[in-house]
Amino acid sequence: MLLLGIETSCDDTATALVRDGRHVLASVSTDQDAFHAKYGGIVPEIASRQHVALLSAAVEDALARAKLALEEVDGIAVTCGPGLIGSLVVGVASAKALAFALEKPLYGVNHLHGHIFAAFLDRAEPQYPFLALLVSGGHSQVVRVESPTRMEILGRTKDDAAGEAYDKTARLLGLPYPGGPELDLLAQRGDPRAHAFPRHRPDRGTLDLSFSGLKTSVRYFLESEDGKRAKKEDVAASFQAAVVDVLIARVAAAFAQRDYAAVVLSGGVAANSALQAALREWSARNGVEALIPPPQYCTDNAAMIAAAAYYQRDAAIVDPLTLSADPNLSFSLSSRGRA
Ligand code: KG4
Ligand code: ZN
């Protein structure tokens, strides 16, 4: 089954051709960082205008790279939420038009489900149940995945998402947007034990996360006399060590509660070098398989959307005439209206 994936939920205009949910024939992503950088963050109106300008060419580019014609695809998979409404509607409208014109099935995919299945691209099939640590710019969640359509959120952030904490702290350190990858690089030259920033502990019986206290603590430290003298590399490494400790603690707590076949890392922050190293080390110590997507599938891409659609198949089929983008799309598949 060959699916064309389309992802425009935020600021990446992405398309992909994926066979059987795993074999990536082409994955194209045109990031818009250059258009947003001078504003220090994503400007939704600019993002949607850029999607309009870039999407048709991105579809053609993916087809050309895979040496395929549009008529050869078996269906279209598109992110229908959550995300920026103006951005989502561009991808959804294009996917609806393509599916209608080609008379091929249309799959409406939750962006976060896409991130979870990114770990299986160019790899083996998922073994269930697995634990997904989903850490992106907008979400931080610990998810039990029983099957492609049965997923339970065990813990979520009470305030900032992990990527948001990275981006805000990077800004405090004077790093350019987007800050996560920049902070990661800076931290590699610093001492993670230089400063003791707080680690959030969840309420009893929950696996919830929180990063706003950590970010505020870094801010107060940077404003202090000690902070003004501190090396930025050390502050970055110490902040990162706190984020990584908290995330690994949640994975360990989830495994202590129930059994899993593997742990899957996903979302933009999965690209973080310290988090990857810590998860690999934890999984080796505990005899658990860790699946971490290659960098190009950690951040937003369309191959993961085609993958999720393949695994969810009938449960993700939607009507090309009535599908609408939903910026607040619920994580649960069962709560969605179907074709
Ligand atoms: O999944 P994603 O591409 O977009 C969302 O769905 O949010 O995640 C983007 C987030 C940004 O906050 C970015 O700073 C963060 O992922 N990120 C990183 C790294 N690469 C991307 N954070 C820490 N270290 C990285 N290497
Ligand atoms: Zn994302």
pLDDT in tens, 88-131: 999 999 999 999 999 999 999 999 999 999 999 999 889 999 99
Average pLDDT over residues 317-331: 95
Question: What does residue 25 show for φ and ψ, rounded to 5 degrees?
Answer: -90, -30
Nearest CA residue ID for atom 2, ligand 1: 268
- Return the pLDDT at 20: 97
Q: pTM (2 decimals)? A: 0.94
Which atom of ligand 1 is nearest the CA belonging to 180? 14
Which atom of ligand 1 is nearest the CA belonging to 12? 3
Q: How many helices (H) and strands (E) does the chain have?
A: 12, 11
Token pair in block for residue 99: 């599916």
Nearest CA residue ID for atom 13, ligand 1: 180
In angstroms, the CA 264 to CA 117 distance is 9
Pocket test for ligand 1, best of 30, 299, 305, 329 (most atoms within 8 A of CB): 299
Q: Find all residues with CB under 8 Å of 146, minimum gap 6, and list them.
A: 128, 129, 152
Band of pLDDT at residue 318, cut at 50, 70 and 90: very high
Ligand 1 centroid – CA 329 distance (Å): 20
Dihedral angle over CA of 255, 257, 259, 262, nearest 10: -20
Beta-bridged to residue 262, according to DSSP, are 130, 289
Burial of 138 (0-12, 13-18, 19+ CB in 10 A): middle
Pocket of ligand 1 (CB under 6 A): 10, 136-138, 163, 166-167, 178-181, 184, 267-269, 271-272, 299-300
The CATH number given to 128-293 is: 3.30.420.40
Average pLDDT over residues 219-237: 97
Ligand 1 centroid – CA 141 distance (Å): 14
Band of pLDDT at residue 338, cut at 50, 70 and 90: very low
Domain 2-117+298-318 class in CATH: alpha beta
Band of pLDDT at residue 38, cut at 50, 70 and 90: confident
10 Å Cβ neighbour count for 146?
Answer: 11
Ligand 2 centroid – CA 267 distance (Å): 6
Closest to 88 measured CA to CA, from 13, 35, 4, 5: 13
For the chain, residues classed under CATH 3.30.420.40 are: 2-117+298-318, 128-293
pLDDT at 86 over 80: yes
> What is the number of the ligand closest to the CA of 293?
1
**Tokens 């190293």 correspond to what residue?**
277
pLDDT at 49 over 60: yes
pLDDT more than 70, % of the chain: 99
- Return the pLDDT at 339: 42
